Structure 1
Amino acid sequence: MRRRWGHPALVVAGAAAAVLGCGVLLGPLRYHESPAATVVTPASPHNDLDNYVRRTVAHLDRVPGDWNAWASLGMAHVQLARIGFDPAHYPQAQAALYRSLAEQPRGNAAALTGLGALAAARHQFGDALRYARRAVAADAYSADAYGVLTDAYVELGRYPEARAAVQHMIDLRPDTGSFGRASYLFELAGDLARAKELMQRALEVAADQGDTAFALQHLGELAWGAGDLKTAEARFADGLARQPGQPALLADRAKVKAARGDLPGALADLRAATATLPTVDHLATLSDVLTASGDHVGAARTDELVRVSDRLTDLTAPAATDIDLILFYADHGDPAKAVAKGRALFAVRPSISVETAYAWALHAAGDDRAALGHADRGLRLHTRDAKAYYYRGVIRLALGDRTGGQADLAEALRINPYFSLRYAPIARAELAR
């Protein structure tokens, strides 16, 4: 299962390494016109956003009281952080959005929406929810505010409210962002046909190459999640034709290549992806492919990069716990750290994805009774997530429930026979016994 509008932890390698929590916005977030305010719309590509920021700063030097411009500048910095995976923009975003509220404290939906988006980007979903509610109260026609509201509800595990919020967003503005969010909610509910239909609509209304590549990537991931390698490969290829070298698409294509047995091709794509976007998820996949290729030294070095970067992050941003880090430590011999991170994240973000990761951490620590409760709740929406079924199957086997455990392993392989280079062979071996 993918976190459709969530960026995983990012490892920055250089003189120092750090794991950074990145944004959660879906696609380019477009400003709207409403009875309350008219906001200038910055273009979505990185260079256009940079130019927009420069023009807006120059404008604000001349007209420092323009609260709309301050709000737009703040959101532009949130967008730059998202598309460039650079949280250095967050303080600039916060300063601009606070200035907008200082200039216009009442009815300033644009600034409140921006602060909600910034809080979500920092994985502070309780704050994101509070800002989004205030934004909706200030401007009931703000599709962007309903987008942030949807994101916050999803990450807080409040799925009925998320469905209501995304319906408001679609009613106000049926675009790639609103259709993509709706697609994800149907995916979480196990309705893959409806999820594909809505993501196809997101593709059809895509406003630029970035939106198009986004929709193609997630159509490919829906196909991958269902074990349809041919469709997944075609979608990722189409996305890369529009955005050559896009790291998430390269990492997705690498999974298809690895599933087909093309380990050298998978390594080439993963090395290119991690050179640009070294997320924990991408690095863990690279480690698995290196292990499958027999390069255990390279795999160990890749794993150590994640560990060192996380230690540095613990000193500077201890709240930036990511699901992929929980799974990494559960899979790489540090169950105590996996449980600690899982417990902390679940306390503030009780989504089904976090439930599933926390269950796996508890299993790694030997607490399978507690793990089973979280594994069950992680599948409470009947999500077609092969890894979630695999995790619960292993937990059930550890508790002596051979029938239930084997049923879950079989279900994981039915959903996607290629779900994990690490664990799919284990599932097949267990079922063959």
Structure 2
Amino acid sequence: MKKNYFYLAGMAIMLVAAVVFYRKYQNVADPVPPLHERQGPISTTSEWLNTKAAIQGLQRKLREKPGDLKSKLLLGLAYMQEARITGEHPYYYPAALKLIQDVLDHEKSDQVLLYEATVAKATIQLSLHQFAKALETGKEALKINDHGAAVYGVLCDANVELGHYEEAIAMADKMTSLRPDLKSYSRVSYLREIYGDMPGAIEAMNLAVSAGFPGLEQTSWVLVTLGSLYEKTGDLKNAEAQYNKALGQSPNYAFAISGLGRLAVKNKDYDKAAELFTKAANILPEFSFQEELVRLYQHQGNTRKAEATMKELLAGLEEDQEAGHVVDLELAHIYLELGKNPDKALTYALKEYKKRPDNIDVCKALAQIYYQKQDFATAASYLKKATRTNSQDAGLVCLEGLVKYHLGNQAEGANLIQKALAINPYQNTALSTEGRNLVNKSISKI
């Protein structure tokens, strides 16, 4: 009996010790997400050496003190930036989200830390195209702190993607009043573009560029975005200048290289375009670079390369989906334009429409799909929503003209097609080609 008492007492002590040990070291068994070595040209920069040293320092702190929530947040933010720079979204965004969610699960009193972690979570949800979730998370951050500019940025982005454009404008105005900088000016630019004010969009993006620090990834991004605005208005000279300026600051910036590739296509220098798109894709696993290559290979009649690249493209998007990245709209465009499969494209577009029926890009995609299916009346119904902001997107204007033309309003349709070709004379899509042919046919009848 006495022996049993000591046995039970010993077991009790061991149980208490196990509980104490678990509580103290429970996070040690949950390893810090490792940093992946970069590959290719972006692995040889001084920026990478500095980034790696900083991240390894944070990882070391967390191994020594797993409950260091500030270091955990900083590591999450670093992984978010690494996702942007490397394009390794399927790894870094889930890793960052895990770190940041752990901060939110354990921090109850530090309002600054709670606010920053909540904004970071919303930003990741935006990057994963989980827009409704991002809006709700952004509202939670607003309850914690309504004087920080960052929260209005995520609320602006979420409302834009959900098609709540008036709310997005209010959020962008508030953000700009609190912190007029690269991030707020770039949002103002995008909203002006949505509402058809291309000169105003270019003006705001120039302000964003001026507010940026040369060499930072964010500055390179706004330079490329400014270049794309010039490209959309047919100003290829200024577009090229911005892409080259970005490369002058960051020589391996893949989005600038891809921008030059698009200009090469417009100038019918297809060999150079293929070289530039391939170079961009080798630096960054970004689906849009592969998309451009498939489009180019199809144009050149290189079926073997087109099919192989298409296979890689779809495999990459599938990996993104498995990591929580919603890519239904992207798949709709790919299956419509590259796969020539409007029925499959429709399946993905309707899934996206169910989530955000007010977004003009989603409505434009559906209008284009129904146009390809020759259901012009249904296409017109989606175009009514897609054109409600008076967007001057040349592809949208051309599509509206084609639909009107086929519904019997040939004069107005032809005028819209001509307007689209004047907005951007360098369009080279199936729709713009059809539009040119219809306009030329109408003129020849006069």
Q: Which amino acid aligns with 1:111?
A: A
In the alignment, structure 1 residue 101 sits paired with structure 2 residue 104? yes
* 3-state secondary structure, aligned to 1:420: coil
Greater shift after overlay, 198-207 or 64-73?
64-73
Identity score, percent: 28
CA distance in 2, matches of 1:424, 1:362: 17
**Residue pairs, 1:72-111, within 5 angstroms:** 72-87=74-89, 88-106=91-109, 107=111, 108-111=114-117
State how 1:47-86 maps to structure 2 within 5 Å. 47-86=49-88
Secondary structure, counterpart of 1:147 in structure 2: helix
Residue type of the alignment partner of 1:321:
V
Structure with the larger RCO, 1 or 2 (CA within 8 Å, 6+ apart): 1
Change (3 A) 1:412 1:257: same
Who wins on radius of gyration, i.e. which is larger?
2
Whole-angstrom CA distance in 1 between matches of 2:48 and 2:403: 44
- How many Å separate the matches in 2 of 1:339 and 1:291? 22
Q: 1:417 to 1:161 in 2, by over 3 A?
A: same
- Is residue 124 from structure 1 mapped to residue 126 from structure 2 by the alignment? no
**2:342 corresponding residue in structure 1:** 335
TM-score, normalised to structure 2's length? 0.80
Does structure 1 residue 417 correspond to structure 2 residue 425?
A: yes
What aligned pairs does 1:245-324 form with structure 2 within 5 A after superposition?
245-307=252-314, 312=318, 316=322, 320-324=326-330
C-alpha distance after superposition, 1:279-337 (max 9, x if no partner): 44333322333343343443343334435555x55984687224332122122321111
More deviation in 190-199 or 79-88?
Answer: 79-88
- Say how many residue pairs are matched: 389
Extract unaligned runs of 5+ from structure 2: 1-45, 442-446
CA distance in 1, matches of 2:330, 2:411: 29
Residue 7 of structure 1 corresponds to: none
Q: Select the residue among 174, 188, 196 that pairs with 1:182.
A: 188
1:162 shift after superposition? 0.9
User: Aligned partners of 2:88 and 2:279: how far apart in 1?
Assistant: 18
Counterpart for residue 244 of structure 1: 251
1:25 aligned partner: none
1:425–1:315: structure 2 CA closer, same or farther, 3 Å change rule? closer
CA contact (8 A) 1:147 1:165 kept: yes
From 169, 181, 186, the equivalent of 1:163 is: 169
Dislocated runs of 4+, deviation >4 Å? 44-47, 307-310, 312-315
For 2:155 and 2:326, the matched residues in 1 are separated by: 21
Distance 1:281 1:92 in 2: 23
Q: CA 1:122–1:318 in 2, change beyond 3 Å: closer, same or farther?
A: closer
SS in 1 for 2:401: helix
Q: Distance in 1 between matches of 2:378 and 2:117?
A: 42
Give how far 1:426 is off.
Answer: 2.8
Aligned to 1:378: 386
Match of 1:325 among 320, 325, 331: 331
Distance 1:419 1:399 in 2: 23
Q: Name the aligned partner's letter for residue 381 of structure 2.
A: G
Aligned residue number for residue 364 of structure 2? 356
1:82 positional shift: 2.4
The residue type paired with residue 375 of structure 1 is L
Question: Is 1:392 matched up with 2:418?
Answer: no
CA RMSD of aligned residues (A): 2.4
Give me the whole-angstrom Cα distance separating, in 2, the residues matched to 1:349 and 1:75.
28
Q: TM-score, normalised by structure 1?
A: 0.83
Query: Structure 1 residues 69-78 or 147-156, which shifts more?
Result: 69-78
Structure 1 residue 109, shift from structure 2 partner: 0.6
Shift in alpha-carbon separation, 1:187–1:358, aligned structure 2, 3 A: same
Residue 163 of structure 2: SS of its match in structure 1?
Answer: coil
Judging changes above 3 Å, is the alpha-carbon distance between structure 1 residues 212 and 95 closer, same or farther for their aligned structure 2 residues?
Answer: closer
CA deviations on 1:139-192 (whole Å, 9 max, x unpaired) are 122222221111111101111111111122222222211111111111111111
Aligned partner of 1:14 in structure 2 is none
Q: Any gaps of 5 or more consecutive residues in structure 1?
A: 1-43
Match of 2:202 among 162, 186, 196: 196
Post-superposition Cα deviations, 1:107-127, rounded to whole Å, max 9, x if no partner, equal 311111111112111111111
Deviations 1:19-50 (A, max 9, x none): xxxxxxxxxxxxxxxxxxxxxxxxx9555444
Match of 1:408 among 400, 413, 416: 416
Q: Give the helix-richer structure, 1 or 2.
A: 2
Q: Check conservation: 1:154, 1:162, Cα contact below 8 A.
A: yes
